[in-house]
Structure 1
Amino acid sequence: MTAQQNTVLSWSGGKDAAYALLELPHVTELLTTVSENGRSSMHGVRRELYDAQAEALGIPIRYVELPMECSNEEYAARMASVVDEYEARGIERIAFADLYLEDIRAYRKERLAETTIEGCWPVWNPDTDEQIRSFLDAGFRATVVTVDGGTLDASFAGRELDEAFLADLPEEVDPCGENGEFHTFVWDGPTFDSPLSVDVGETVTRAVGDGEFHYCDLY
């Protein structure tokens, strides 16, 4: 891995992606997906908040817009089109902030296998207790924007990810939320020029598949 490699970072706006940015020598662009309603399909974060992050980080951001009801085939086709464009631009790596979900990593490798672009996992396979401490010790600050109602109640949404939040997590919940228990939005840290001004709005509960998720709106 050389400092001259042109790298795109798959960007969720959350804690793992923000920490991965610390580990990467040269990021050309952030890449994220948003639904046609202008929000992240997984986190429910508004597009303008991602714009604010990118500005504070000093890195351009690229959006892939997805239909509200997006099939796996449509998702793969739209992402493949972007990867083709990156290959033509000379992008050498796409970095992902996955921690330990091997099936997701294998899927990403498969999608890149027929291209000249390498996959990169700068925060792969950590001890997640140590990883979340490293995140907080580095000076990052984040708000919990989504929680899985099957593992956490709605009161966890909208809280700052801090020591008190971690202390309140049930023992069976991964402290990094790597199994989808919760998702975050980072608004300050060592890679930010200045903190973002973020207001916490209402929390709503929506059915997703066979479960339900609690979403806290940020402004």
Structure 2
Amino acid sequence: MEDEWVSLFSGGKDSSWALYQALERGLNVTRLLTVHPSDDSYMYHVPATELTGLAAESLGIELIDVHPGDLEASTAADSGEQGDAELEPLEAALTDLQSEIDIAGVTAGAIESEFQTNRIQGMCDRLGIDLFAPLWQENPRELGDAMLDAGFEIAIIQVAAHGLDESWLGRTLDAEALDELEQLNDEYGVHILGEGGEFETLVTDGPHMDRPIELEYETEWEGTHGRLVITDAYLG
């Protein structure tokens, strides 16, 4: 029987692109795995992870939810220790899954973060599985263009960076937005794809999804940062 792949999945554009690329290459992705962190995380995408259930339904792939509790607010002395602590529930979930299926590897959406990638690679080494990270060290603008060319519809759901104001909340990440983000990258060092937490996204539709995710929301703005407060979400 063919080995199975697990997609580390937040619903955001980067993990969604890694999943899409895996499917395009014929990898047998049979599980999505979402870690639901608390309000602050060094390792994981935080906002709107509760919507991954809708995405999984549209994708037709089984979802595994991991709730690490308050590990993020533990007694970790620094970001490195916190990152290690945050990895533990993910590794435990994959270890449990290995008792059920033969896992070939996991997909991950890291672009430049060695903090994340080194930890995920170490975890894969310990579990004896592969890591598929197709965004790793690719050009951010070219990645953004590729996502749009493939038909991804991407909503910006949280912002926290110089140059990004309330008007970005709920905005579609399109070619015009990427142009503006390139300018903000020159002026302020904003990562074009927001990998440093400058902004967070939700993929609401794509070629690998059967139905789009429709959102109803309000915006919450606190001076220099803000987010969408999603009041309803459903498949169109």
Instruction: Tell me the residue number matched to 2:79.
Output: none
Render the CA deviation track for 1:140-199: whole Å, top value 9, x for unaligned: 101111112455233322211112322332133222112221110001110110212112
Q: 2:9 aligns with which of 11, 21, 33?
A: 11
Instruction: Tell me the residue number matched to 2:103.
Output: 91
CA distance in 2, matches of 1:106, 1:131: 21
User: Which amino acid in the other structure matches residue 47 of structure 2?
Assistant: G
**TM score, norm. by length of structure 2:** 0.78
> Are the structure 2 counterparts of residues 44 and 178 from structure 1 closer, same or farther at C-alpha, using a change threshold of 3 Å?
closer
Q: 1:76 aligns with which of 70, 73, 87?
A: 87
Matched, 1:43 2:46: yes
RMSD over aligned CA atoms reads: 2.4
Render the CA deviation track for 1:81-135: whole Å, top value 9, x for unaligned: 1121122222120111111222321111122322222222122221111110010
**TM score, norm. by length of structure 1:** 0.84
SS in 2 for 1:176: coil
Structure 1 stretch displaced more, 134-143 or 16-25: 16-25
User: Which amino acid in the other structure matches residue 61 of structure 2?
Assistant: I
Instruction: Tell me the residue number matched to 1:165.
Output: 177
> Are the structure 2 counterparts of residues 204 and 33 from structure 1 closer, same or farther at C-alpha, using a change threshold of 3 Å?
farther
Render the CA deviation track for 1:11-44: whole Å, top value 9, x for unaligned: 011111221122112211111111479xxx7432
Instruction: Tell me the residue number matched to 1:209.
Output: none
Instruction: Tell me the residue number matched to 2:216.
Output: 199
In structure 1, the gaps of 5 or more residues are 207-211
Equivalenced residues, count: 208
> Are the structure 2 counterparts of residues 205 and 31 from structure 1 closer, same or farther at C-alpha, using a change threshold of 3 Å?
farther
SS in 1 for 2:176: helix
More helix per residue? 2
